[in-house]
Structure 1
């Protein structure tokens, strides 16, 4: 991708990282981890980085680990970010936002006062906000200007105001949310007044060389959200007024469950699906247009640019997964790119759980100061890795990258472990990219991979490795079910692989409450089965990232799948499944069931570990053979625990260290 200019601001390429919450702030300011995170992406070749939204008025603050830019005391911390990013030739823009009604404003465990243009209920956090007093609207606009001036003082290259995702300025623009009767409500001119005042204040506070941009949702995908035609008119008017230098286009709204899915669209959503919306805006304005939304492949980004749909492409999650993606593109190392699979687990999923950002494929993301880059050791060791699921593959790559000699043995004929099954579920094929990426890294690292090789204690003795990495995974738990011999009870694994065939009326007994039960339900419903999904939790998908969960619950509804929450199976017969309510002693009886499909837990495979321990052979266990969890923990342990064990073994000078 060629260089690109917005006014006097020249980017070395058209790849940008959009503002996204990292939860790396320290005392609401950028700290060392925040600086290291963005510097890694600048070093990796990004043309532009837009740092996450900073709160600029105290009516939008909370205990959350957000950035605040409400006093001059914060300027030095932001200046460190700008200095680190610009040192690598990347431009930097700072974002400003106010949540309005889209917040619970939690502080000390209590909800605070939420302000919005009108007292219009919000559907996600279940907030009925207080209408912003007339004089406070002017205060907020003026505060945006002061915050923009602080970005100038911190040597940022520009400022971006958020009117996207149903946030405060979007609420002012929306006639279904903004029901004011004063100068800030009613006509479109009045509804735009708050945003225009904030932009004018920001423009007055920044230098002529800095750019001022707007992030906006091309449509909000909510019943009471902004519509396409409204957004087009708003963008045209703002450009005509000379208030903005570019438009950064996204879709969706944080004010409802359906619209929130589009804030960070998961793999189930088509790649680059927002580009068509961005092209409509680009056709009516004469200023540059950026676009985000599942652009996870550089070739796809090139297509968006070449087709004239946008001028710059946001590849934020691609650089969360692989910070060096832009550099690899320009060095013609496309085969080395670790592609984002859109799982949402450790990026936005961490944010929703209150944890700092990372990536299930790249544990170093967000931990740049804690996890070192590979480096060659002075005394290489012989490492044997047993099991080629995500944990074993990452362990092998990690050891090889540090200069050790690695053999990787897998009992099955293919690598992948549980991921090989996960990718078979509806809409989840892209999840297999996790293994494709790791396979490529294994091939490039010189690891000796042997498939169909079941490792025994005797074989380990023959190989005499300095360290054994156990990544032997886990096996399904077989729950006790009364009357099992009378019913038709199958495992999800057997149904998914075609080894077992369900009959017409199926009850899925989902103990896990993750994507497996949902995927099985969608799979069987699509084949014409009557499907009931009984989950041992409060809702289907309880244990997965909420955007993915909400997306699939919508699809389950469309497919006619009945969801039975708070239900644990305890018995079956030929025509009935007997469930127990999870928080009540009362039974839940499902009649007309001729097949039960079990989505059960998994228990660790520890047999080989016990034998190694008894022999005093140095080993480390990684992934599901510690406790069955997700691919994120498997990859993290494959990297971190393997490296820790190798370093400990190197320091010990013998083979009797047992690392855990």
Structure 2
């Protein structure tokens, strides 16, 4: 076996987990009315069927004050038991073990009832800066009521068939609000001393134990480091875990806090963060407490997890996003088919990004995730067609592989000498190298599906007519264009694409005008600043990169700040001449003038390459236009529309 440590069983309190791969608790927005939906059951069943050893189901609220989003799962009534039972049975039927997270957010509360912001509660009335929440201080009897809620919710989960529960004390939620001397200013039995601040966690553990049984598994998830100057550091967390070692059967290590911009980045660390970066702390904790330790944090590939387990750093590895991207990752790894694994690129766009938008979870590379009810199976077609796909970017690649899997005869025409389209550019910017993995992964899917690929093939109406396909999928993407603005002499003007590819070298003083407010503008600004240019980033938005997932955005803004890049929001380009860039402040409608500029770099929307549409329609061939050829957007829409178009060919 290639990964002997990773695929060895792990026993904890009489429960044997078949391997060391863990799907950590994560929001899916697939709950409905506070209960697991059929969609959530299908989602988790797909991961269980894919071979994961343990699934820890997403947070379940233990008290009415714990409703931190509109679709949070709730365990406050016995009415919840049947639906959770169906979920746990679906998971365990595949040989996978099932735990569930017990949760109270405290002051980290976003939920609204009838459109009204809820009153948050916490250990003390300590404001939370990220969501601008001012909580009320919990009365002592309310604290004991919440503690009782942990116990009664655990009982319901045990009756429903869970193998264990995990108390969420990570990411700045209620338990750590009691633990933190920076948040908890109480002077009663729940504050004032280290021992009193530990009382909430100890009482929760005791309540859960009383409500279940001695052999029921009770763990906790805790952040090793909150990555904020006001938050817990490694040594403080280590001391807390030592004090609590007799209260829990295992400790699950993650990092970060929901309470601050710097800490929140580590809730789902983007590709700028190193792989398996929390393993050293996990190893230190395991040696200190002699209890099972689980760890997550950018463990994407089986060889990374194997190294963590083999070194004794942890007993289980959280590989959650790896299995959002490829539910079959464990099975493929066990069978030695590592080249077939669709590797996560940590873009955060459709996993945590969807959850933050109130949308069901998915993946830009594998849009079937979260949509198992619609796309979970790939039935063979009863009427094979000759399908021509024009364009080898992400949209065309996905459409081609899916259409071929279904049983159609597929040709993919790509005018360039390689596949990837706009993704080839994305991987060239700082800290975006992993984005090129989408090309590698989709290329492998094409190979496995045995798609007939023609490089250097330019599509024309005549060539299409000669081919006589039964259907055409047009995925020709988009092309760069500069927007309209007043231009004069005395300043170099370049499009972002030319700077990314190195076709244009800028001067020493650069303005990057960013209409898109996505990863391109911040990436170019970082690239040029790192190369020594004095950079001003003028963004047509309330802040740089406002269009992308906030952990990725905030990490990028932090890097630009450290590099000394000047960032100007609310900017619309008006004109440029004589080493001067003229902007309009979009809110104030007043002029903003930037002087002594050598080069203006423009990040502007592309134009769809849809010139073939009229000619194909004139031929009477059924046509599907997808991705940027339909409307310039992101890789997520491109890949999803490739899946959708191919699935509709039946």
Q: Does the pair score TM above 0.5? A: yes
Match of 1:471 among 462, 472, 475: 475
Structure-2 change in CA distance of 1:503 and 1:291 (3 Å): same
Q: Could you say what secondary structure the match of 1:607 adopts?
A: coil
Q: Structure 1: state its 5+ residue gaps.
A: 648-660
- Residues 28-43 of structure 1: pairs in structure 2 closer than 5 A: 28-43=34-49
Q: What is the deviation of 1:477?
A: 3.1
The C-alpha deviation readout for 1:580-623, integer Å capped at 9, x for no partner, is 11122211000111110010001211111111112212211111
Contact kept? 1:282, 1:309, Cα under 8 Å: yes
Match of 2:233 among 227, 233, 236: 227
Q: What is the deviation of 1:210?
A: 2.1
Distance in 2 (CA, whole Å) between partners of 1:198 and 1:421 is: 51
Indicate yes or no: 2:178 matched with 1:198: no
Match of 2:331 among 327, 334, 338: 327
Q: What is the deviation of 1:485?
A: 4.5
Distance in 2 (CA, whole Å) between partners of 1:383 and 1:104 is: 47
Match of 1:75 among 72, 81, 88: 81
Structure 1 equivalent of residue 194 of structure 2: 188
- Residues 150-549 of structure 1: pairs in structure 2 closer than 5 A: 150-239=156-245, 242-549=246-553
- Residues 623-642 of structure 1: pairs in structure 2 closer than 5 A: 623-642=627-646
Structure-2 change in CA distance of 1:153 and 1:484 (3 Å): farther
Distance in 2 (CA, whole Å) between partners of 1:551 and 1:106 is: 28
User: CA RMSD of the aligned region, Å?
Assistant: 1.0
Q: Could you say what secondary structure the match of 1:258 adopts?
A: helix
Indicate yes or no: 2:23 matched with 1:46: no
Structure 2 equivalent of residue 140 of structure 1: 146
Q: What is the deviation of 1:372?
A: 4.0
Distance in 1 (CA, whole Å) between partners of 2:125 and 2:229 is: 17
Q: What is the deviation of 1:486?
A: 4.1
Calculate the TM-score normalised by the size of structure 2: 0.98
Q: Could you say what secondary structure the match of 2:221 adopts?
A: strand
Distance in 2 (CA, whole Å) between partners of 1:30 and 1:77 is: 6
Contact kept? 1:215, 1:248, Cα under 8 Å: yes
Q: Could you say what secondary structure the match of 1:192 adopts?
A: helix
Q: What is the deviation of 1:126?
A: 1.0
Distance in 2 (CA, whole Å) between partners of 1:485 and 1:472 is: 35
Match of 2:115 among 97, 104, 109: 109
Indicate yes or no: 2:67 matched with 1:57: no
Distance in 1 (CA, whole Å) between partners of 2:593 and 2:550 is: 29
Structure 2 equivalent of residue 656 of structure 1: none
Q: What is the deviation of 1:642?
A: 2.4
Structure 2 equivalent of residue 589 of structure 1: 593
Q: What is the deviation of 1:63?
A: 5.1
Distance in 1 (CA, whole Å) between partners of 2:174 and 2:47 is: 29
Q: Structure 1 stretches (4+) deviating beyond 6 angstroms?
A: none
Structure 2 equivalent of residue 657 of structure 1: none
Distance in 1 (CA, whole Å) between partners of 2:461 and 2:587 is: 46
Q: Could you say what secondary structure the match of 1:83 adopts?
A: helix
Distance in 2 (CA, whole Å) between partners of 1:111 and 1:381 is: 54
Distance in 2 (CA, whole Å) between partners of 1:535 and 1:63 is: 31
How many residues are treated as equivalent by the alignment? Answer: 644
Q: Structure 2: state its 5+ residue gaps.
A: 1-5
Contact kept? 2:488, 2:578, Cα under 8 Å: no
Contact kept? 1:203, 1:243, Cα under 8 Å: no
Q: What is the deviation of 1:268?
A: 1.0
Distance in 2 (CA, whole Å) between partners of 1:550 and 1:610 is: 43
Calculate the TM-score normalised by the size of structure 1: 0.96
Q: What is the deviation of 1:278?
A: 1.2
Indicate yes or no: 2:14 matched with 1:8: yes
Distance in 1 (CA, whole Å) between partners of 2:61 and 2:367 is: 28
Q: Which moved more, 1:477-486 or 1:546-555?
A: 477-486
Q: What is the deviation of 1:6?
A: 1.1
Q: Which moved more, 1:248-257 or 1:55-64?
A: 55-64
Distance in 1 (CA, whole Å) between partners of 2:489 and 2:597 is: 15
Structure 1 equivalent of residue 578 of structure 2: 574
Distance in 2 (CA, whole Å) between partners of 1:54 and 1:162 is: 10
Q: What is the deviation of 1:628?
A: 0.5
Distance in 2 (CA, whole Å) between partners of 1:87 and 1:209 is: 21
Q: What is the deviation of 1:208?
A: 3.1
Indicate yes or no: 2:11 matched with 1:27: no
Q: What is the deviation of 1:274?
A: 1.0
Q: What is the deviation of 1:381?
A: 1.3
Contact kept? 2:609, 2:629, Cα under 8 Å: yes
Indicate yes or no: 2:103 matched with 1:97: yes
Contact kept? 1:296, 1:317, Cα under 8 Å: yes
Distance in 1 (CA, whole Å) between partners of 2:117 and 2:255 is: 28
Q: What is the deviation of 1:574?
A: 2.2
The C-alpha deviation readout for 1:219-267, integer Å capped at 9, x for no partner, is 111222122222112211222xx32110000010001110000000011
Q: What is the deviation of 1:309?
A: 1.0
Contact kept? 2:385, 2:409, Cα under 8 Å: yes
Contact kept? 1:105, 1:114, Cα under 8 Å: no
Q: Could you say what secondary structure the match of 2:299 adopts?
A: coil
Q: What is the deviation of 1:556?
A: 0.5
Contact kept? 1:63, 1:108, Cα under 8 Å: no
Contact kept? 1:525, 1:531, Cα under 8 Å: yes
Q: Could you say what secondary structure the match of 1:370 adopts?
A: helix
Contact kept? 2:490, 2:579, Cα under 8 Å: no
The C-alpha deviation readout for 1:365-417, integer Å capped at 9, x for no partner, is 01100114222223321111100000000000010000111111111111111
The C-alpha deviation readout for 1:421-464, integer Å capped at 9, x for no partner, is 00000000000001100001111111011111111111111111
Q: Could you say what secondary structure the match of 2:486 adopts?
A: coil
Structure-2 change in CA distance of 1:5 and 1:252 (3 Å): same
Q: Could you say what secondary structure the match of 2:575 adopts?
A: strand
Distance in 2 (CA, whole Å) between partners of 1:288 and 1:198 is: 20
Distance in 1 (CA, whole Å) between partners of 2:227 and 2:567 is: 25
